[in-house]
Structure formats: C-alpha cells, structure tokens
Amino acid sequence: MIALFRPFFCLALCAATAVAAPEFSESALFTAGQDGYHTYRIPALLRSASGTLLAFCEGRKTSGTDHGDIDIVLRRSTDGGKSWGPLAVVQEEGGDAKITIGNPVPVLDESNGHIHLIFCRGNERVFHSFSTDDGVTWSPRKDITDPIKREGWGWYAPGPVHGIQLKRGAQKGRLVIPCDHRIGKGGKDGGPMGAQVVYSDDHGVTWQLGGIAQTTATVAPNENTCVELVGPSPDDGSRVLFNARDHAGPHARATTISDDGGTTYAADGFADAPHFTCPTVQGCLLRLRATDQGDPANRILFSCANGTTRSRISIWSSADEAATWSAPKPIYEGPSAYSDMAVIAPGTVAMIYERGIAKPYETIFFARFNEEWLDAP
C-alpha cells in the first residue's frame, strides 16, 4: 500500500521552523555536442565536506553508445549550483582510442574530507582514485578488481550513483559502493545479472567484496542504489536498504536489506518492490532527514523514471524508513532516465538527471528544490 504523508511533514517541520516558500530551479549542465563530446550520460552527484558540488558523468566522444571512446568528466560548483566551473576530464585513456572509462561512483569520507571515486574500464576492470582538494586534482588510479570481482563475472559496473559512508551501528565509518555484474565474457553486457556490494573499512586504502545476489526466478537485480536506515539491526549492525533495477519483476524495481553494513544481503535476497512502477532504468536513494541527527522526522527520497518508458522522472518519499512511500512527485514530464541527488542544505536537495525532448540523452540537467516544493500539491 502506498501511503501519502505530506501533511505529516508539514506539521512536523512547521512546528520546528518557519515555513519557507516552495523553491524550484533548474538548468542544463551538460549538453550533447558541446565541449568535444557527442553525448553525456550516467550522472553522479556529490557534495563535499566544504559544500562544493561535484557533478560527474560519462563524456562519450563519438556516439551515444555504451562502448567506445568514453571519459569521465566533471563540473564543480562552489555556490550550491548557482554557477558552475568549466568541464574537466577526470579519467581518460588513449586519446582517441576506443577505451571506455565510465560508471563514476563518488563517495565522501567525512572523517577527513577525502572524495573517493570508483569507476570501471571496459566494464571489466575496476579502479579507485581520490581527491583531497574537492575534486580539483585526483590521485593516480589504482586497479582494485581482483579482491572485488569473482571468477565468471564478465561485465562489472559500479553504481552508477553516489556511494555512502555509514553513520550508525557496528560498521560506522564504512564506505559502501553498490555495484552490479553479469556472468559471461569480460566486459560483455550479456548473461545472467547480479548485484553486489563493495566496501572499505580503512578509508579507501583497500576494498572488499560484500553481499552478492544473483538472478532468481522472480528477480534479476542490476544497477542499484543504497541508503542507511535509522536504527541499527538487533545485533547492532549498520542497517542498509538497497534498491535495484530489476529485469524480471513486474515493477522493474527490487529491494533488499543488509543488517551488517553491506557485508551480506538478507538471506531471502532481493524481492519485487510494488511501491514503484518504473521502466528498467537506474534510480537513486537519498536520505533527506534523520531523527537521530536532530531532525523532527525521518525522510528518504527515491528518484527514477515513472511508468513504462524512460520518461516522467519523479521523486517518491518515505517517512517510515522505506516501509511505505508517497505518490511520485514529477520533476520533468518528458523523456528522462538516470539521476542522482545530494542534500545541499537542511531541507534542500540538488539533483542531476538525463533529460531531452525527443530522447532522454540530449542533456544532463541540474535541479535544485526545497522540501516545501516537494510537499506542495
């Protein structure tokens, strides 16, 4: 059952603060054909410890396809998305060679402000780089494939969406990266699908393979996203919700829980998520509010295309730690696909998403909105 709870949020938040006016603004951030790239795809967004916004995506040089001469590019904003710096190339290889570097997944280590970036080469090898200066410069990349990829896995893809650092329970401080794979030949997008967790307990020095889920008779989990839930598990483990693109279930979304910070998934694995009706597409989870961090209520957001085609990107909200969800709030009615979100101030969200007029991959837009806009009719 889908529960509508916007009046609850209005009452809870109004009791604590003065009501702000609804605010929503957006603008094109990456446009196909500009700055030397044919198409921009696969957005990822992160807010640094100092407040800088980092908007990553794939810059596809000669076509919009998933394989070819593809780089990871970045734009930065130091004023909450009001203005943006020029495009910078974060990862590239071989000049004009058809080498695919993609699926950027940034995660912030709040203990030291370092920004870690997990990404893949040819959807076969996985690499790690980090920045200590809000994304201005990056460390040499390091191949981390061997400890996190099992024999028989061909295709391997981090995210694509931001990772999280756990704040609660026994795994507090862990960096968690949602990933997916396919069984078969190296780098080939074919074969049975699966989802997995990659994590680091030593601030990005080493990375380990956590929970693994394979295709079943009812669920085929793929690209996925995660959010930490308020309140640890009964044995004090960090409780994490995973929401995956599903190629088998009727709603094209599947979810599972980890009660140990991503070390393992729940024993019954992923199950169909009837709260959502989506096309087979990537989505994003984000925690907006948490009572254990001083907020008057808990709130989790989920962004995804809504319906049976890649269009009408929307946001669902949950006030009860993902037990129930609101009706979707549309962001854009037209063709739209992948997205990512970040909290940039209390009650204020930044979002980047693929958007177009004829097809979803004409631009990557930046949107900024507050909770009052999200709750408005």
- CB-CB contact of 350 with 364 (8 Å): no
pLDDT at 10: 46
Tokens of 275: 């709260």
CA atoms within 13 A on the CB side of 314: 21
* 125 assigned to some structural domain: yes
Domain assignment present for residue 43? The answer is: yes
Strand pairing class (348-355; 363-370): antiparallel
The confidence score (pLDDT) of residue 344 equals: 96
Q: How far is CA 208 from CA 187, 199, 204, 290, in A?
A: 21, 5, 10, 28
Per-residue pLDDT, 234? 87
The Cα 177–Cα 86 span in angstroms is: 27
pLDDT at 55: 98
CA atoms within 13 A on the CB side of 208: 13
Tell me what pLDDT residue 18 has: 60
Among residues 197, 208, 320, which one has the least CA distance to residue 270?
197
Residue 213 lies in a domain: yes
User: Considering its fold, how many domains does the chain have in total?
Assistant: 1
Q: What pLDDT, on a 0 to 100 scale, did the predictor assign at position 11?
A: 41
| pLDDT value, residue 310 | 98
210 falls within a domain: yes
pTM of the model: 0.94
Q: CA-to-CA distance for 286 and 49, rounded, in angstroms?
A: 17
Q: Is residue 1 part of a domain?
A: no
Q: How far apart are CA 129 and CA 142, in angstroms?
A: 6
Does some domain include residue 104? yes
- As beta bridge partners, residue 208 has 199
**Which residue range is the domain that position 351 belongs to?**
6-375
pLDDT at 187: 85
Q: Could you tell me if residue 23 is inside a domain?
A: yes
The domain that holds 204 is classified in CATH as 2.120.10.10
pLDDT of the chain, 377 residues: tens digit per residue: 334 444 444 444 444 446 789 999 999 999 999 999 999 999 999 999 999 999 999 999 999 999 999 999 999 999 999 999 999 999 999 999 999 999 999 999 999 999 999 999 999 999 999 999 999 999 999 999 999 999 999 999 999 999 999 999 999 999 999 999 999 998 888 899 999 999 999 999 999 999 999 999 999 999 999 999 998 898 999 999 999 999 998 999 999 999 999 999 999 999 999 999 999 999 999 999 999 999 999 999 999 999 999 999 999 999 999 999 999 999 999 999 999 999 999 999 999 999 999 999 999 999 999 999 999 98
